[in-house]
Structure 1
């Protein structure tokens, strides 16, 4: 009891943890832990920034001026060709200078003799038919009448057949074509506005796809993989009320104008796709109006009923409005009834995928050895391959340039080995495309380049830091380190002040003692 009575906690020297030496050791131990943890913190928070091949990326400007070599053999007999090979080549060169949008991506080489063992050669033949139109004979020969076709007409026809952008005559055409994807899902949907008012409960979709679309899909599988799904919806109301157009007292129709077609798809109530996938979807909808809205017609921009009761939503799909003529219930749409509808779907599919049509006034006459199941000519497929090759090459080039620019602009953006490997692989693919000996190999290389460049650009590690600027670092570290750091810093400052104060007091005591001793000496 006597010890407790004499203990005074207000006196710092009597509290064991307030002893000066022990307190300094405690503070020093905290700082020792902090200093020892700094290397670990630095290692765990450091960002890997491997160097990128910026010089190779900077040299990718050639993708904007790349030219596809095209070998064209002029086949003729004596006296039936209106122009010489040299004159044809000079005319094409002049057109290239004047119309770079069409000819700029082509390097046409004219040959007068057949090139043996070459499957990528096209032919120009002349016939003596005085009233003959242009024909695509077989799969790779353009036959024109030497009596009716002039040199400019021949060059124009060749340009439409060979150019990768011949089918995109207007900017809207380019916006209509879906962005390239290695795989598409084709979704076919039978939509009844109200099946109870004389609609259809099913359709012979498998047979129709096999008969009318499968031949074209087989040819297009050189560029894309296709996954097909189908749906039937019994109740699919419109989100708007179509306009009634009264032609006569007893005759009228419901009109779908340009504004209505833009908002035709009722996404809130229509179930158009069921598969969970990242692959883009092209929709093909057969819409059956209810009996209250029949007949329903698509209107042109001029306000008249369109010849084809169908329209395209750019990069999304195509819609056909079908008005049944029957008045009695019928459950199934058979293949015969679906024939004109799937012809329209076939045209819409080609437009959405960018398949160039044959030039106006040019007809296809298949050769005996060409199967009827190949509706697209090699001219069309080659032009499509050129267009998609350029699209992929320029997409890859743009992605690679963006990666280099972002890494240079954002100092904390990581560049790991997997990203650098993808960038290098994409550059190698672009080099392989430039040096490819045939069009299919060039397309495959450009496709791989675009895929790898996109994977590098959207790498999760890069994206995570792209949306985490340096300012956010302070917001993260301040609440974490402030409660710990401030007491440690304050304690050090207090100890420094205490030591200075004690030293100052010690000096004063020494000075007073020295002065007292000097005074005592004087007195003696």
Structure 2
């Protein structure tokens, strides 16, 4: 080989050219300005993510959890914050006794009552009716008068006797003048008689409240099995408490008659006084309807004719199929409150009279639903049709029965005979039940928020919880002071607010959106963006570490 001048090239020159052609070309080193630019770009991206993107994401996706007094809520649920007591104030009117005799009778009777009482949460407090101490106190601060006992001397009797007023909260005790207790007597017969009568009047109430507070009546040795079974049956049949009930009265007949009834006059005459008496406990609305050609269900057993009684009979086991729910227009509920249905059924003349076979009754109660009354009109031998119109007087037996059924469905105790006393008992029962229900709801809400930290707690829930706790405290205080009507009013608010806080829509909806769903949503979005950013950051960190090692070695 020769060079450009024609001379032959040396072997060394050829080797140098071959080595140069085989060496890989190395890019020129980055300038400090390029390195600084790349560092600034990566730092700018991460600065936007850390100082702008992350705070915005945290703010927009974070769950707001208002502060709840968890420990206080748990204390209410565990009955540590309040132990309900029911002190009943009973006024003792003694017009025929001297002041000292009346005071002595009061003390001895109170002592006997305390000895007989087996349920500490429910106790009777006697007070002389003519004792006007504290008369100038505010009305709201006074305890409710549960009962007034009037002691009336009577010459023609040998032993005391009592008589309860059915329309007022008053008990008259007639006693022979010879039984006026002497100042030196420690346990006079008259005191023992009054104490035993009061214990008898409130025995069912004590057992019922004990059942509500503890779930059973085992704590009362004096409660007979019959009373305990009666209380359990009554509680099973009664409706759940509500602030407003809707009463629906329906007239059903399998034919074309009767087609009208004096329902408005009957409700006003026979039912309105009872509804007004219930005003401190619940409110009521009334609606009515008439349904003609209301036949039995095809699957329901038909009545059977009994020749010996000359009547059509319905078997007791067939009563559950009497209501034709598929064709009879019976609304299950109207508005927010529960509906109590009352059915007045007028059978056709071909199946009249219609009665229940086992007890020959013409009415029955459907637990937690309503009542039924079979109205058999008086038909002449030649009459082949029912009357076209039902007068107010003909509706009287049905509405007297409906009134009794309404008391049962609302959970009113069966004793004593005085309706005001039974309604006072119902007020105390409802206050105790609502107090326990609202307290239990607070405990459930506390456990829910503790076990599910991912659900939000809106400010409305915190406000409802605060309102519930304050009214629970007011209920407990009013019960302790004997203001049972005020206690029921506070307990109603506490129960409503507790239910509102527990069933908050925004809070319950978040329960079904766990963290796994969030990961499944974010990964497809953040993966393509996050990988280049993380890789660039790692390379830049490696470069900075390598440059620092090189400077250290050079130094």
User: Which residue is equivalent to 1:339?
Assistant: 396
Q: Which moved more, 1:220-229 or 1:119-128?
A: 119-128
Partner of 2:460: 418
TM-score in terms of structure 1 length: 0.74
Q: Which residue of 2 aligns with 1:43?
A: 59
Does residue 205 of structure 2 align to residue 172 of structure 1? no
Alignment match, 2:276 = 218
Contact conserved, 1:254 with 1:293, CA < 8 A, in 2?
no
Residues 355-397 of structure 1, C-alpha deviations (whole Å, 9 max, x = no match)? 33442xx5x6xxxxxxxxxxx42x2332121111111111111
Q: Please show how residues 431-450 of structure 1 align to structure 2 within 5 Å.
A: 431-436=473-478, 437=481, 438-450=483-495
Aligned to 2:16: none
Distance 2:47 2:315 in 1: 78
Cα distance, 1:248 vs structure 2: 3.2
Alpha-carbon contact 2:90-2:124 (below 8 Å) kept: yes
1:251 correspondence with 2:302: no
1:247–1:389: structure 2 CA closer, same or farther, 3 Å change rule? same
Q: CA 1:387 to 1:250, structure 2 compared with 1: closer, same or farther past 3 Å?
A: closer
The one of 143, 152, 173 aligned to 2:172: 143
3-state secondary structure, aligned to 1:429: helix
Q: 1:494 to 1:115 in 2, by over 3 A?
A: same
Residues 416 and 490 of structure 1: is their aligned pair in 2 closer, same or farther, counting only changes over 3 Å? Answer: closer
Q: CA deviation at 1:244?
A: 4.5
Rounded to whole Å, the distance in 1 between the matches of 2:495 and 2:425 is 19
* 1:416 CA displacement: 2.2
Cα distance in structure 1, aligned partners of 2:378 and 2:335? 38
Does the C-alpha gap of structure 1 residues 411 and 214 become closer, same or farther in structure 2, counting only changes over 3 Å? same
1:108 aligns with 2:124: yes
Alpha-carbon displacement from aligned partner over 1:61-108 (angstroms, at most 9, x marks no partner): 167731122122333435999x943443344334432xx3xxx54231
SS of the residue 2:208 aligns to:
coil
Structure 1's unaligned 5+ residue stretches are 1-12, 14-19, 365-375, 503-524
| Residues 191 and 115 (structure 1), Cα distance of their counterparts in 2 relative to 1, 3 Å cut | farther
Q: Could you state the TM-score of these two structures normalised by the residue count of structure 2?
A: 0.70
Q: Residue 512 of structure 2 aligns with which residue?
A: 468
- Distance change (3 Å), C-alpha of 1:78 and 1:336: same
User: Are 2:99 and 1:92 equivalent residues in the alignment?
Assistant: no
Shift in CA distance, 227/26, structure 1 to aligned 2, threshold 3 Å: farther
Residue 369 of structure 2 aligns with which residue? 316
Alignment of 1:34-433 (within 5 A): 36-60=52-76, 61=79, 65-76=83-94, 77-78=96-97, 84-97=105-118, 100=119, 104-112=120-128, 114-116=130-132, 117=135, 120=145, 122-127=147-152, 128=154, 130=157, 134-136=163-165, 139-146=168-175, 150=193, 153-160=196-203, 163=206, 165=208, 169-192=230-253, 194-196=254-256, 199-239=257-297, 240-242=299-301, 244-248=303-307, 251-258=310-317, 260-273=318-331, 276-291=334-349, 293-299=351-357, 304-306=358-360, 308-326=361-379, 327-359=384-416, 362=417, 376-377=419-420, 379-433=421-475
Per-residue CA distance 1:465-487 (angstroms, 9 max, x = gap)? 2x4152xx423541x33433343
Choose 232-241 or 246-255, whichever is displaced more: 246-255
Mapped contact 2:246–2:334 kept (Cα < 8 A): no
Structure 2 unmatched ranges of 5 or more:
1-26, 28-33, 136-141, 177-189, 210-226, 544-555
Note if contact 1:243-1:256 (Cα within 8 Å) is conserved in structure 2.
Answer: no
Q: CA deviation at 1:28?
A: 9.6
Q: Structure 1 residues 389 and 289 mapped into 2: Cα distance closer, same or farther (>3 Å)?
A: same
| Cα distance in structure 2, aligned partners of 1:123 and 1:201 | 48
Structure 2 Cα separation of the partners of residues 72 and 385 of structure 1: 16
Report the structure number with the largest CA radius of gyration: 2
Check conservation: 2:344, 2:375, Cα contact below 8 A.
yes
Give the superposition deviation at 1:255.
1.2
Distance 1:252 1:343, change over 3 A: closer
Which residue of structure 2 aligns with residue 481 of structure 1?
522
Q: Write the distance in 2 (CA, Å) between the matches of 1:209 and 1:176.
A: 24
1:483–1:69 Cα change, 3 Å: same
- Please report how far the alpha carbon of residue 190 of structure 1 lies from its aligned counterpart in structure 2 after TM superposition: 0.9
Change in 2 beyond 3 A, CA 1:312/1:32 = farther
1:389, 1:253 → 2: CA distance? 45
Residues 247 and 87 of structure 1, relative CA distance in 2, 3 Å threshold: farther
Structure 1 residues 68, 493: CA separation in 2 closer, same or farther (over 3 Å shift)?
closer
Q: CA RMSD in A?
A: 3.9
CA distance in 2, matches of 1:408, 1:311: 47
Q: 1:276 to 1:318 in 2, by over 3 A?
A: closer
Q: 2: CA distance between counterparts of 1:195 and 1:26?
A: 91
SS in structure 1 opposite 2:242? coil
Secondary structure of the corresponding residue to residue 250 of structure 2? strand
**1:279-329 Cα distance to aligned partner (Å, 9 max, x none):** 211111112234454433235xxxx224x4111122221111222332334
Task: Report the count of equivalent residues.
Answer: 451
For residue 246 of structure 1, report the CA deviation from its aligned partner. 4.9
Distance in 1 separating the partners of 2:337 and 2:42: 60
* Contact 1:164–1:384 (8 Å) recurs in 2: no
1:249-285 CA-to-partner distances (Å, cap 9, x unmatched) read 7835231413x23343332222123985122111111
CA separation in 2, counterparts of 1:246 and 1:384?
Answer: 42
**Equivalent-residue separation in structure 2 for 1:499 and 1:418 (angstroms):** 50
